[in-house]
Structure 1
Amino acid sequence: MEEALERRLRRIEDELAIGQLRARYCHLLDDRQWPEFVDLFTEDGLFCGLKEVRGRTELLRFFQEFAEATEDFWHFCTNGTVEIEGDTARGRISLEYLSVTDGMSYVSAGHYDDVMERVDGRWRFRSRHITFYFLTPLSEGWAGRPFPGRRATS
C-alpha cells in the first residue's frame, strides 16, 4: 500500500514539474531570458518549428536571432497532456501565439508535441515540435488561412 502511494505521489510531483517546465518555457521566451530559457532543454535538445535546431548553443543562437527579427511576442499554452514512463514523458499542449513584426500584429495557433526527460532530478525538453494551424496578420483574420507547410488532414 505504501509503495503504491509513493508511486502516485511521484506521478503527481512529476506532472506538476512538467507543467512548470512548460509554463517557464513561455515566460522565459517572452521575457527573452536566454540562458535560463535554453537550460530548459537537455544538452542535445531539439526544437522543430520554423527551423530545426539541436543543442543549447544552436538554440540560443536561433532564438536570439528570432527575437531580434520580431518586435514583440507572447506565448499562451493550455490543455496539456502528458504520459510519464520512468524518466521520460511525452505529451501535447495547445498554443496561441501573438506577435508584432514590422509594425504588423499577427495571430496564430497550433500545438507542441513534447518529449521530456528527467536529467539530474529535473525535467527538461528532449524535443519540442511545433505544428501551426495558421499564422496570419490580425487585420486579415484567420479563417481559412492554414499555416504554410501545414499537413493536410483527411
Structure 2
Amino acid sequence: MDITEIEARIAIGETKARYCLTLDTKDWAGYADCFTEDLEMDTRPSGGILTVGRDETVAIVRRSVETAATCHHVHSPIMTFNMDGSADVIWAMQDRVVWGPDRRFEPGLTGHTGFGHYHEHYRKCADGRWRIARQKLTRLYSDNHYEGGITKPAPNPAAPA
C-alpha cells in the first residue's frame, strides 16, 4: 500500500463520516456535498426505493427523516481500488431512527434500529474530494420500537419468502 492509497482511504473514511454527521444533524447542504451529481441510491434491498440524481435523492431522504432523531454508525470498511481510479467500499452499519409524530407508519410505532451494510462506489471529483456515486443499503436485521418500550423484529425485505 503506497501513500496515495493511504491518503485515499483516509479521505473516503472522512467522506463517510461527514455523510453520517450531516444526515444526523440535518445539514442538508453538507449531506448533498457527500455525493456526485449523478448519484444512484438503492434502498430497495432494505424496503426502500431506487433514486437517481443527487438533488432528487437528498430531497427524498430529507422528507423521510427531517423530523426524526437519527444516529448512523459505520465501521469496518472493506475498500477495493479500481483501475479507473474509483473505489468500491462496503461498510458495516447500524442506524437508530426515532420517528417524528408526522412519520409514524403504524399505531404505536416510534422507530427502529437496524443493522446491515452500505455498498458504495466512490469517485474522486475534479475538486480532489472523494464522493459517493452509488450506494446500496442492505439490512441483515432490524427491530421496530413501539410505545411502552416494546421491541419486535421488523420484516426483512431481503429474506427469502
1:130 and 2:137 matched = yes
2:21 & 2:89 partners in 1: Cα distance? 19
1:60 & 1:146 partners in 2: Cα distance? 26
CA contact (8 A) 1:35 1:60 kept: no
RMSD after superposition: 2.0
1:109 aligns with 115
25-34 vs 50-59, greater mean Cα deviation: 50-59
The residue identity in structure 2 corresponding to 1:58 is: E
What's the secondary structure of 1:87's corresponding residue?
Answer: coil
- Percent sequence identity over aligned pairs: 24
1:28 aligns with 22
1:141 & 1:41 partners in 2: Cα distance? 34
2:68 & 2:138 partners in 1: Cα distance? 22
Report the Cα offset of residue 140 of structure 1: 2.2
**TM-score with structure 2 length normalisation?**
0.80
**TM-score with structure 1 length normalisation?**
0.84
- Give 5+ residue unaligned stretches, structure 2: none
Q: Deviations over 1:72-125 (max 9, x none)?
A: 111011111101125200020011011112462421111000110111111011
- Give 5+ residue unaligned stretches, structure 1: 1-6
Aligned residue pairs: how many? 143
Q: Deviations over 1:19-67 (max 9, x none)?
A: 1111111001001111111111111011111221111210221111112
Q: 51, 54, 60: which is aligned to 1:62?
A: 60
Report the Cα offset of residue 151 of structure 1: 4.3
Tell me which of the two structures has the higher relative contact order, counting C-alpha pairs closer than 8 angstroms and 6 or more residues apart. Answer: 2
Give matches, 1:1-154, under 5 Å: 8-49=2-43, 50-68=48-66, 70-85=67-82, 86-101=84-99, 102=104, 104-120=110-126, 121-138=128-145, 139-142=150-153, 145-147=154-156, 149-152=157-160
What's the secondary structure of 1:80's corresponding residue?
Answer: strand
The residue identity in structure 2 corresponding to 1:107 is: T
Runs of 4+ in 1 over 4 A off after TM superposition: none
What's the secondary structure of 1:20's corresponding residue?
Answer: helix
